[in-house]
Amino acid sequence: MALPAQEQKHAFVHAQFERIAAKYDLTNDVISFGMHRFWKERAVQILLKNAQNTTNPQNRSYLDVCCGTGDLSLRIASKLKDQDSVTGLDFSGNMLSCAASRLDKAGDVISCKVSFVEGDAQNLPFQQDQFDGAIISFGLRNLTDLPRGIAEMTRVVKPGGLVLNLDLGEAQGPIFAPLFALHFDVIVPMIGAIVQNDRSAYTYLPESRTTYPKPAGISKIFEESGLVDVKHIALAGGSVALHTGRVP
Ligand SMILES: C[S@@+](CC[C@H](N)C(=O)[O-])C[C@H]1O[C@@H](n2cnc3c(N)ncnc32)[C@H](O)[C@@H]1O
């Protein structure tokens, strides 16, 4: 399958997530062997630890960009207090419907305010310096304009707050790297075909990896957006990359 041309990518990606929303969580667990939970926990720890050190511990507010079914938003929310808030943003109405039902089912585990907003990550409908931190997980790769996505997150985070990106990295090692490529390029589309009955969506996933920058390229995008103290943490043998940068 050919990757969509740049001008068609937005509509292509939107249609794809509208289609796979209902079984997205199940497929995510299967293709990552449930490991996405640990990577997200690590990212949330870093996001919240920073706020304890640098900002007013009252009324903390966080943004989860490309929130999908709200998994990460609710992980953040479960660690916050009543007066805090989490906003999840996504452009897929179907993914957001799944997020809303997850929130309904979460019950007493969540005491802070959680809201889900439909919008474009490249044109965030929020004010400058509105949030204490912003995170995007497995979303950046899907944007038509990646630097614009990071620049928007940087704009809406207060000085001292963190911007985080969790996404694919570069698998390392003579055995692990080819194994990872086999899993991602061959097994993942097969899992997509079985679980989702949608091989094309999960063929796009490995193909999107070919145009997504390597970790050093993502660090550069962070720096060019004006973020400082930019760090790359390699997870899962390098196959997953967590980037952090601070708004000066
Ligand atoms: C792979 S899912 C990741 C969902 C979630 N963050 C997670 O880690 O499980 C990518 C999400 O990005 C959303 N997305 C892609 N491009 C977007 C855009 N331009 N604006 C807002 N959301 C977008 C999709 O609708 C989808 O829900």
For tokens 């912003």, the residue is 134
What's the structural domain count of the chain? 1
List the residue whose alpha carbon is closest to atom 22 of ligand 1.
Answer: 90
Residues 4-44: tens digit of each pLDDT: 777 788 998 999 999 989 998 998 899 889 999 999 999 99
Tell me whether residue 238 is in a domain. Answer: yes
Domain membership flag for residue 1: no
Asked, for residue 147, whether it belongs to a domain, the answer is yes
Specify the pLDDT at position 2: 56
230 inside domain:
yes
CA 81-84-87 angle, 5° bins:
125
In the chain, count H helices and then E strands: 10, 7
CB of 84 closer than 6 angstroms to any ligand 1 atom: no
Q: What is the residue range of 157's domain?
A: 6-246
Of 243, 239, 244, whose CA–CA distance to 170 is shortest? 239
Q: Is residue 25 part of a domain?
A: yes
Distance 141 CA to ligand 1 centre (A): 9
CA–CA distance, 196 with 53 (Å, rounded to integer): 43
Going by pLDDT thresholds of 50, 70 and 90, the confidence category of residue 198 is: confident
The enclosing domain of 116 has a CATH number of 3.40.50.150
Handedness of CA 220, 143, 23, 126 (dihedral sign): positive
pTM for the predicted model, two decimal places: 0.94
pLDDT, tens digit (0-9, with 9 covering 90-100), for 62-82: 999 999 999 999 999 999 999
Task: Judge whether 43 lies within some domain.
Answer: yes
* H/E run at residue 180: helix 176-182
- Gap from CA of 27 to ligand 1 centroid (Å): 15
Would the CB of 144 count as within 6 Å of ligand 1? no
Q: Is 139 in the pocket of ligand 1 (CB under 6 A)?
A: yes
